[in-house]
Amino acid sequence: MKIAIIGMGPAGTGVVRTLRRHDSDAEITMFSAENVPPYSPPALGDYLITGNKEGLFRHEDDFFKTYNVKQRPGEKIVQVMPEEKQLKTQNNEIFDFDHLVIASGSSLYAPVKGADKKGIYNFKTLDGADQIKRISQEDKTAVVLGGGFIGVEIALCLAKIGIKPTLLNRRGWIMPRLLDVETAGYVEKDLRAQGVEVLLNTEGKEFVGNESVDGLLTSNGKTLTADIYIAATGVKPNIDFIKDTDIEYDQGIVVDEKLRTRYPYIYACGDVAQTIDLLSGKRKIHGLYPVAMDHAQTAACNILGMEREYERPVNINSLKELGFKIIVVGNQKAEEVFEYKTENILRKIYITADKIVGFVLLGDISNAGIYLSLLKKKTNVAKFKHRLLSKGFSPGFLPGMGGVN
């Protein structure tokens, strides 16, 4: 059995590990557009700040030898031929497969004119992080376009290595898709305290310059200049190689409950897979490490004939580089909102039809695991919802754990 895997990130390597736990004979070949060993993109921020590669390269010293995998780093796939069960590389080499796993990850994206110019860095790749490290000095400046989760994370990382970032957001508050105005105020205050200049109600209209970027023209008519430019208004899956096929895609590749495309021998995992959200019931991309791990196990099991469905995910976001801990889960709109706050702590739980649909924990993240469990199980919390944020709340309040009956 020949198994081809496009991508060497967490989803791709996770597929290999699961396959090899049950099958030592299958011929596995991994392809990657990046000419580097497998690494963990979520660790790029820590690597940029500390230079520590241990968290970045969390795999065995010789992953490919350990798991008996053929490696093709730097071999970008340019075409998938589903009917023929073949792949074509940028060098026009053809590879046959019996099963294909698409785990090619995602890239930063900004629908702004000139975003393809030279001099705009891709922080989601090791090469992009290394480029920033090479030019980083305390007198350097950066413009980060996009005040969502990714943009905020990048700006904080840059500030911690002495670069002076300016962060643009077109809305009137930071991370508008994840946070309400009140919660965003805590984040914005910390950003400014760490040296990040925040420009709200400001859009990037065009990256100006000839072949290389010389500045960013904004919606207020000003042109911002810097040493480093990063476009981070969103991400898009790396799936150009399927766009001339009949594999269905929307935001990402559309899959069934077993992560199969319309071809039962082609799977999609991680950032490229558009799966059903636990809360909304709608298909969306969940670019989260735990989701990639679940997808990896699911795809591998189904390749081996071991029936398994993916766990419907819920959005979970956490920013490590703020001056406080914060976890944002699920929806921030609901019928009821329970809240506790002090100067440095904000805790909110969102409840609809007596079920938790989301929560924000800022400064104090205690009981996050309990709330997440209640949310995922869709537990009726009517009898104890007023105590969810009390200091004495514990699993003892929960049905079946000696608590509420």
Q: What is the DSSP string of 101-150?
A: EE---EEEE---BTTTSBTB--TTSHHHHHHHHHH--TT-EEEEE--SHH
Residue 385 maps to a domain: yes
SS3 91: coil
**Structural domain that includes position 69:** 2-105+238-303
Say yes or no: 288 and 331 in one domain: no
Q: List, in order, residues 6 or more apart from 316 with CB less than 8 Å away.
A: 288, 290, 327, 328, 329, 372
23/18 Cα distance (integer angstroms): 9
4/1 Cα distance (integer angstroms): 10
244/293 Cα distance (integer angstroms): 28
Structural element, H or E, at residue 317:
strand 316-318
Say if residues 281 and 313 touch (Cβ distance below 8 Å).
no
Among 235, 262, 289, the domain-final residue is 235
* Per-residue tens of pLDDT for the chain, all 405 residues: 999 999 999 999 999 999 999 999 999 999 999 998 898 888 899 999 998 888 888 666 689 999 999 999 999 999 999 999 999 999 999 999 999 999 999 998 888 999 989 999 888 889 988 988 888 766 899 999 999 999 999 999 999 999 999 999 999 999 998 999 999 999 999 999 999 999 999 999 999 999 899 999 999 999 999 999 999 888 899 999 999 999 999 999 999 999 999 999 999 999 999 999 999 999 999 989 999 999 999 999 999 999 999 999 999 999 889 999 999 999 999 999 999 999 899 999 999 999 999 999 999 999 999 999 999 999 999 999 999 998 878 766 665 544 443
Residue 402 maps to a domain: no
Q: Which two tokens stand for residue 227?
A: 């040493």
To the question of pTM greater than 0.75 for the whole model, the response is: yes
Say yes or no: 200 and 246 in one domain: no
Structural element, H or E, at residue 356:
strand 355-362
Residue 211 maps to a domain: yes
How many beta carbons lie within 10 A of that of residue 157, not counting itself? 22
The pLDDT score that the predictor gives to residue 401 is: 47
Say yes or no: 183 and 200 in one domain: yes
DSSP state of 263: S
Total count of domains within the chain: 3
DSSP state of 310: P
Residue 147's φ and ψ, nearest 5 degrees, are: -100, 30
Q: List, in order, residues 6 or more apart from 399 with CB less than 8 Å away.
A: 379, 405
The pLDDT score that the predictor gives to residue 402 is: 45
Residue 309 maps to a domain: no
Residue 66 maps to a domain: yes
369/83 Cα distance (integer angstroms): 45
289/295 Cα distance (integer angstroms): 10
